[in-house]
Structure formats: C-alpha cells, structure tokens
Amino acid sequence: MRLLLDEHMPRVLAEQLRAHSYDVIAVTEDAALRGLSDPDLFERAQADGRAVVTCNVDDFLDLDRQFQAAERAHAGIVLVNTRRFPRRSVGPLARALERFITGGAPYPSFVHWLQ
C-alpha cells in the first residue's frame, strides 16, 4: 500500500516509515504538493495510487462522498484522530500505520479510522 501524508502530518513520519521500506511520501517533502487544495491533493494521490493519511476528517469524507456519487474508485483514506495520535508523538502513529499497511487495503475505496 502506498501512502501520501497530508500537510498536517510531520515529515519525520514519512521518513520513519520509509526506513522500514514502506512507500510513503509527505506533502511537506514535495514543493509541488504543498499548498494544493484538498480536492487537488486527493486527485494527485489517486493519479499516483496512494491512500491519503489525514486528520482533516470532514473535507476528506466529503471527497469520498463525491467520488462515490461519481462512481469513481480511489486508493483510500486513512483518518487520524489527533487526540489519539498527537502530532508531537510520532512513534505511536508510525507503529499504527505500519500495522495498517501490513494488513493491506481492507476493501476498494476504503475509509479507515486508524486505531
């Protein structure tokens, strides 16, 4: 599973996951991705076959609904609760994402709350 971490996710998270051979990029690492609107970022993720990891729940759930209404598949959305995974504590988030990645996509066009 390939992931794109949205702009709210720290760059070091992508670095940690790549150190374990996972295919992860962060918006904060790529000047071409920084500043894109959520719809544009989601489209870029789909073009690259990446699930988006985000704490921007409302906007990305809305994008999922738009894709469903248009009968378009997407590579997935992983929702992160910042109370459960505070941004200052990258380790638990990295471990949770590793567990999720190794399990594979649960179903096409998935929306998953990270545990």
Is the Cβ–Cβ distance between 26 and 41 less than 8 Å?
Answer: no
Q: What is the pLDDT of residues 17-63, one digit of tens each?
A: 999 999 999 999 999 999 999 999 999 999 999 999 999 999 999 99
Q: In the structure, what pLDDT confidence band is assigned to residue 88 with cuts at 50, 70 and 90?
A: confident
pLDDT of residue 89: 84
Distance CA 39, CA 115 (A): 25
pLDDT band at 114 (very low <50, low <70, confident <90, very high): very high
Spatial distance between the Cα atoms of 105 and 12, rounded to a whole number of angstroms: 23
Domain carrying residue 78: 2-113
**CATH number where 7 lies:** 3.40.50
Q: Quickly state the pLDDT bin for 87 (edges 50, 70, 90).
A: confident
Number of domains in the chain: 1
